[in-house]
């Protein structure tokens, strides 16, 4: 049963209101009664009771391990984890409450005004987001967010972007295996194909780069990106950003298309490289004398062999999804 306003957790956290449902479950705003005036976000994880007892036990242990990893993170573009505990059948993660609006809300407001968010402000936010992701990827072992999207990016009143909701985070193990807090594969619009395998799919830092690129696409065009599996099956569905918003610079178009490459090997190999492609040594007030044409979408899949392999991969992925749903 969801928590109600007035409920108190751990004799400390007074629930004020329900905020949303995130990748980890319900999220609430609460008052920290030990620290007067401190607001926090409390995330509740409730496991499916139909899961086997041993599976639930292992998942809770994974949650505790990975939550402790998150609690050690300290970065200006990430909310700070301050407490982890279990109560009843639920596990809880307490983080700083981030005031402000998420970027999806700001995008919707711009669309209602029949405007686009400016490229300059979107890339300024993108630079902050890139810094946060670089920090996560530089941990030992690397941390993958796996659910980057406009609604998971909050803009504070001081114009600081915060990457929130670590519900699908993965801690990469040295043997390239991954551990997951909660099963899931992210939001389809921003999810790369390799992540459609859920927790059995291989994901690495390039998966976050795809989601970052898709997020920028959406923010710059007010238009949702085409899902990766649809692009696999119907490549012609991909619309270049400049066709929607002609004010977008060719450089930005090229960088975003690079980040959204369908095959991981065709994306930037690190967020540092992707950030440099987007904003490195670039003055947003200057424009090239002659705009360059955007890259052909077929450049993403350059050879017939690669195209055949991708179609085979797409078919296997779709069969896997069908098999999963049929059980």
CATH of the domain at 105: 1.10.510.10
Residues 60, 178 within the same domain? no
Residues 89, 134 within the same domain? no
Residues 224, 83 within the same domain? no
Residues 130, 215 within the same domain? yes
How many CA atoms, within 13 angstroms, populate the side-chain half-sphere of residue 60?
20
User: In the prediction, which pLDDT does 252 show?
Assistant: 97
3-state SS, residue 115: coil
Residues 80, 28 within the same domain? yes
- Residue ending a domain, among 80, 96, 112, is 96
- Residue ending a domain, among 96, 130, 160, is 96
Closest to 84 measured CA to CA, from 103, 98, 63: 63
Residue 3 domain flag: no
The set of residues, in sequence order, having a beta carbon less than 8 Å from that of 307 and lying 6+ positions away, is 301
Residue 2 domain flag: no
CATH of the domain at 27: 3.30.200.20
Count of domains forming the chain: 2
Q: 157 — phi, psi (to 5°)?
A: -60, -20
- Residue ending a domain, among 31, 61, 96, is 96
Residues 38, 135 within the same domain? no
Cα of 175 vs its chain's centroid, Å = 24
Domain range holding 112?
101-326
Residues 157, 269 within the same domain? yes
What DSSP assignment string belongs to 51-65? Answer: S-HHHHHHHHHHHHH
Residues 130, 66 within the same domain? no
Q: Running DSSP on this structure, what letter comes out for residue 76?
A: T
Residues 89, 169 within the same domain? no
Residue 1 domain flag: no
Per residue in 226-237, pLDDT (tens digit) is 999 999 899 888
Spans of the chain below 70 pLDDT: 22-24, 166-186, 197-201, 281-327
Residue 167 domain flag: yes
The total of other beta-carbon atoms located within 10 Å of residue 119's CB is 19
CA–CA separation, 89 and 1 (whole Å): 11
Residue 144 domain flag: yes
Residues 151, 256 within the same domain? yes
Helix 205-221 to helix 119-137 angle (10° resolution) is 170
Residues 42, 114 within the same domain? no
User: In the prediction, which pLDDT does 51 show?
Assistant: 80
In the chain, alpha helices (H): 53-71, 103-112, 119-137, 205-221, 228-233, 241-244, 250-259, 271-279, 304-326
Residues 276, 164 within the same domain? yes
What DSSP assignment string belongs to 153-177? Answer: EEE-TTS-EEE---TT-EEEPTTS-
Residue 71 domain flag: yes
Residue 159 domain flag: yes
């Amino acid at each position: 049963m969801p928590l109600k306003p007035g409920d108190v957790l751990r004799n400390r956290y007074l629930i004020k209101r329900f905020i949303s449902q995130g990748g980890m479950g319900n999220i609430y705003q609460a008052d920290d009664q030990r620290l007067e005036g401190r607001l926090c976000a409390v995330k509740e994880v409730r496991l499916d009771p139909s899961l086997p007892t041993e599976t639930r036990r292992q998942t809770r242990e994974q949650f505790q391990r990975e939550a402790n990893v998150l609690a050690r993170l300290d970065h200006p573009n990430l909310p700070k984890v301050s407490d982890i505990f279990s109560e009843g059948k639920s596990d809880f993660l307490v983080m700083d409450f981030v005031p402000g609006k998420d970027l999806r809300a700001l995008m919707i407001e711009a669309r209602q005004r029949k405007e686009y968010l400016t490229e300059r402000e979107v890339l300024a936010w993108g630079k902050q987001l890139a810094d946060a992701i670089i920090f996560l990827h530089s941990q030992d072992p690397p941390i993958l967010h796996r659910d980057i999207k406009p609604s998971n990016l909050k803009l504070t009143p001081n114009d600081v972007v915060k990457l929130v909701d670590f519900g699908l985070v993965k801690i990469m193990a040295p043997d390239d295996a991954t551990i997951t807090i909660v099963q899931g594969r992210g939001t389809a619009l921003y999810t790369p194909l390799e992540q459609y395998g859920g927790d059995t799919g291989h994901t690495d830092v390039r998966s976050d780069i795809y989601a970052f690129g898709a997020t920028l696409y959406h923010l710059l065009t007010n238009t949702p990106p085409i899902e990766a599996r649809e692009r696999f099956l119907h490549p012609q569905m991909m619309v270049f950003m400049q066709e929607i918003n002609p004010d977008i610079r060719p450089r930005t178009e090229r960088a975003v298309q690079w980040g959204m490459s369908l095959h991981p090997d065709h994306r930037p190999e690190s967020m540092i490289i992707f950030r440099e492609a987007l904003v490195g040594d670039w003055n947003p007030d200057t424009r090239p004398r002659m705009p360059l044409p955007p890259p052909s979408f077929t450049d993403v899949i350059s050879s017939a062999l690669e195209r055949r392999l991708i179609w085979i991969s797409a078919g296997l992925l779709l069969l896997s999804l069908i098999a999963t749903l049929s059980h």
